[in-house]
Structure 1
């Protein structure tokens, strides 16, 4: 597999370790260039793939194993405007109607994820839900499990090792102060399947959630079909698609940070958990 490509040069290299008041779902993810370019390869556009590899070559040399949505990294996403080739976008959706940088900062951390059941009604998401849906290819994501008053991080990936295709929304915002045009996106979430219900058991939440994971067929439909079709696609991932294992601490003073250890299995003897 190729070296990691998760972000561009503006991404902060520090793992988020501050106290967060809520963790809805899928704030920490892992990806690589092969995952991001899989769709381009699927359509057989080898010339374009090679062009992208050359364009991002400086970032292939640094491996990135763990990054938080609160860092607002720049990722590659696929949109309906050019569904064969990815574009760069910041994680955390900035609606086109945001007036200034202060409003952008106020909304940014609130739009890392979008609850699938309400994206067609919420002001921050409804325009994008109707006409600006996107795909994000990742290797896996992290979620925390609560047990005996403590939290334990899990790394979730596909059983077959293939990239996970996430359904998202994107938008284009123009900073009126600088003239800069910013592409940004959010990851859509849905109700958890059985595996994720067991892992994502935060007692402060009303229900367990998981990112919207799409099959290749549904990925095309998510991009190109009507809102009515998109609504029917927002369902939990099928059972048996994913596997999970515990990993070392991702937050706090003992966090492993951006290292291979972030995704390696780590056993907590005191934890009682059965998938």
Structure 2
């Protein structure tokens, strides 16, 4: 699953920066600052943070959306709050059939630019957080779906999104080993050649649907790196500080530099 990410503002603007339009970037940053946006060194989806997403309508000009998908036909605020924590991730293989997501799967897919994500490893009854990122430290582009829900009582419109997930690769199989879950999962990390298709393909036929489903696959393990970090939850949680993604070694775990350690991650 993907419930925790690192997403600095600079990284969230990664796609917009590719246009080399410094004036536009400055305008976006000023707007974000006015709205109270901040760097997210560690954020949990359960806090429903506002994060920049790129949509088909605004492919290079990001918009703010809250993490936690709210379907457009959600009846009222009570229903919205009840569903919010259950829609942080959308299972990619099933999104065209799942009632909450199928409309957006057809025509409201989005991109989310992050530095990396966090996942918890289970070992001898305890959990240990890992930070997973591109080995070259470049931003990741995640595939998502989005929606705009209107609160009929207040008239307020709320943009929300869910991060699409796929089957975990071998690295995630070793880290994301929660015995209560059905197999390892990971966020959909889109390679460069898949980004435009994910954003722009209009699903009007079974062939179009297959074209999108074919993009939902594990990212190459060899292009990712992982290391343990300080606690993300509980009374000792590190919080939203730059050091959140720094490596932190736990004496309870096998040495990471051992070629025969239990995880054999590196």
Q: Above 0.5 in TM-score? A: yes
1:148 aligned residue:
124
Aligned to 1:177: 153
Matched, 1:135 2:92: no
Matching residue of 2:223: 241
Aligned to 1:240, what secondary structure does the other structure show? helix
Q: Secondary structure at the match of 2:172?
A: helix
CA contact (8 A) 2:134 2:223 kept: yes
Matched with 2:264 is 274
The 1:111/1:192 distance shift into structure 2, 3 A limit, reads same
Where does 1:205-216 land on structure 2 (aligned, <5 Å)? Answer: 205-216=181-192
Counterpart in the other structure of 1:261: 243
Task: Say how many residue pairs are matched.
Answer: 251
The residue number in structure 1 matching 2:260 is none
| Kept after mapping to 1: 8 A contact 2:232/2:239 | yes
Q: Show CA shifts across 1:106-156 (max 9, x none).
A: 111110000111000000000000000000000011100001111100011
Note if 1:86 corresponds to 2:62: yes
Distance of 1:62 and 1:222 partners within structure 2: 27
Counterpart residue number, 2:206: none
CA contact (8 A) 2:8 2:38 kept: no
Q: SS where residue 56 of structure 1 aligns? A: helix
Give CA deviations for 1:185-218 in whole Å, capped at 9, x if unaligned: 0000000011111000001112000000001221
Q: For the residues of structure 2 that align with 1:64 and 1:80, how far apart are their CA atoms?
A: 24
Which residue, 176, 182, 187 being the options, matches 1:200? 176
Which of 232, 237, 243 is the aligned partner of 1:250?
Answer: 232
Question: Could you say what secondary structure the match of 1:70 adopts?
Answer: helix
CA distance in structure 2 between the partners assigned to 1:63 and 1:223 by the alignment: 25
In 1, Cα distance between equivalents of 2:166 and 2:14: 24
Give the TM-score, by structure 2 length: 0.90
Name the counterpart of 1:5.
none
Rate the CA distance shift 1:61–1:79 in 2: closer, same or farther, 3 A. closer
Deviation at 1:54, TM superposition (A): 2.1
Q: State which drifts further: 221-230 or 244-253.
A: 221-230
Matching residue within 16, 19, 28 for 1:52: 28
Root-mean-square deviation (CA, aligned residues, Å) is 1.5
Structure 2: 5+ residue runs without aligned partners? Answer: 204-208, 255-262
For the pair 1:229 / 2:219, whether they are aligned, the reply is: no
1:33-72 correspondence runs (5 A): 33-57=9-33, 63-72=39-48
Q: Indicate the residue corresponding to 1:4 in structure 2.
A: none
TM-score normalised by L of structure 1: 0.87
Unaligned runs of 5+ in 1: 1-24
Could you tell me how far apart the structure 1 residues matched to 2:5 and 2:89 are?
A: 12
